[in-house]
């Protein structure tokens, strides 16, 4: 991990609530793994604390990395003011990345909202390694279904569910996962962005013995393990351990995570 000031190449609004930023990252792109994140300085005065963002896409040829972010509060509002040509102050890459086993042929991604920002880099990696990648994207509305085109252009099979269409409730998503699993063997599952859907994947994965991973998004402060602001509970055999999402995570085996 290191401190870097990366040149911003673009920072544009892509839907009502979401923005997309591309930064030049020469020398960094080969050291970043899907699931890792950067702690970004949004403002030197207020908000003082850096904010964590996953790497959305890695472009090794162009030596760029991308962030996809939801405008939430003070920090992300400030990020929308960044202009091309300015420098982005980032600390990272931080955290534990996803694991893709060599013998997995088909992987299933289950993302809610901006959770797809975290899973897209993984989809890139899976496709690059000739794995079949199936993604279920869940959002409030079609307008919030992010990254659909980016995923489809990579060759990912995308299934969209929304509140708008009445297709995103847990029962409907469970039915969809079961349908997918009944048609082909799924070797691994990955999720991010919703406790409700993560619990669902935990149950379905356990039923079908599919190893699965989750990228947790807990509120963070230091991002490097010193403050313990981001602890979550992990079941380790017979004991429950409190671990830091920033250093022991953000990626964990889904079966071990204690869902509140």
Contact status: 53 vs ligand FAD (CB under 6 A):
yes
Q: Is 80:70 a contact under the CB 8 Å cutoff?
A: no
The span of 2-10, 50-58, 145-153, 206-214 binding ligand FAD (CB under 6 A) equals 50-58
Under rule CB under 6 A, residue 52 binds ligand FAD: yes
- Minimal distance in Å, beta carbon 47 to ligand FAD? 5
Tell me how far, at minimum, the Cβ of 208 lies from ligand FAD, in Å. Answer: 27
> Quick check: 70 and 40 in contact, CB under 8 A?
no
Question: Is residue 39 a contact point for ligand FAD (CB under 6 A)?
Answer: no
**CA 200 to each of CA 15, 109, 157, 213: distance values in angstroms, whole numbers, following the listed order:** 28, 13, 20, 13
| Of the candidate residues 37, 82, 91, 98, the single one contacting ligand FAD (CB under 6 A) | 37
Q: Is 92 in the site for ligand FAD (CB under 6 A)?
A: no
Q: Which is nearer to ligand FAD, 24 or 221 (CB)?
A: 221
Residue number of the CB closest to ligand FAD reads 73
CB 4 within 8 A of CB 52: no
- Find the shortest distance in angstroms from Cβ 105 to ligand FAD: 27
Number of residues counted as binding ligand FAD (CB under 6 A): 25
Minimal distance in Å, beta carbon 65 to ligand FAD?
11
Q: Is residue 218 involved in binding ligand FAD (CB under 6 A)?
A: yes
Which residues lie across from 24 on neighbouring strands?
Answer: 64
Residues 115-154 that bind ligand FAD (CB under 6 A): 117-118
Decide if residue 250 touches ligand FAD (CB under 6 A). Answer: yes
Spell out the alpha helix ranges (H) of the chain: 74-79, 115-128, 148-154, 170-183, 195-208
Torsion of CA 138, 170, 121, 127, to 10 degrees: -100
Contact of 127 with 244, CB cutoff 8 Å:
no
Q: Give strand ranges (E) for the chain.
A: 2-13, 18-24, 37-40, 51-54, 57-59, 64-70, 87-94, 106-112, 132-139, 157-162, 188-192, 212-215, 231-236, 239-244, 251-253
21, 49, 111, 173: which one binds ligand FAD (CB under 6 A):
49
Minimal distance, residue 219 CB to ligand FAD, in Å:
3
Summarize as ranges the residues that interact with ligand FAD (CB under 6 A).
Answer: 37, 47, 49, 51-54, 56, 67-70, 72-76, 114, 117-118, 217-220, 250
């Amino acid at each position: 991990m290191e401190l870097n000031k990366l040149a911003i190449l673009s920072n544009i609004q892509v839907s009502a609530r979401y923005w997309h930023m591309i930064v030049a990252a020469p020398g960094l792109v080969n050291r970043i793994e899907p699931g890792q994140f950067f702690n970004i300085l949004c403002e030197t005065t207020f908000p003082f604390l850096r904010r964590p963002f996953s790497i959305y896409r890695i472009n090794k040829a162009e030596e760029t990395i991308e962030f996809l972010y939801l405008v939430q509060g003070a920090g992300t509002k400030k990020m929308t003011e960044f202009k091309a040509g300015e420098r982005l102050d980032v600390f990272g890459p931080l955290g534990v990345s996803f694991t893709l086993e060599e013998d997995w042929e088909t992987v299933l991604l289950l993302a809610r909202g901006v959770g797809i920002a975290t899973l897209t880099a993984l989809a890139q990696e899976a496709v690059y390694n000739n794995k079949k990648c199936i993604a279920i994207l869940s959002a409030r509305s079609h307008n919030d279904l992010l990254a659909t085109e980016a995923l489809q252009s990579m060759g990912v099979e995308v299934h969209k569910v929304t509140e708008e269409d009445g297709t995103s409730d847990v029962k409907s998503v469970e039915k969809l996962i079961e349908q997918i699993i009944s048609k082909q063997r799924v070797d691994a599952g990955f999720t991010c962005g919703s406790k409700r859907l993560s619990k669902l994947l935990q149950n379905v994965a356990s039923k079908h013995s599919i190893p699965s991973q989750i990228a947790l998004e807990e509120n963070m402060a230091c991002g490097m393990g010193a403050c313990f602001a981001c602890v979550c509970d992990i079941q380790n055999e017979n004991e429950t351990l409190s671990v830091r999402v920033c250093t022991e995570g953000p990626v964990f085996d889904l079966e071990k995570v204690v869902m509140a």
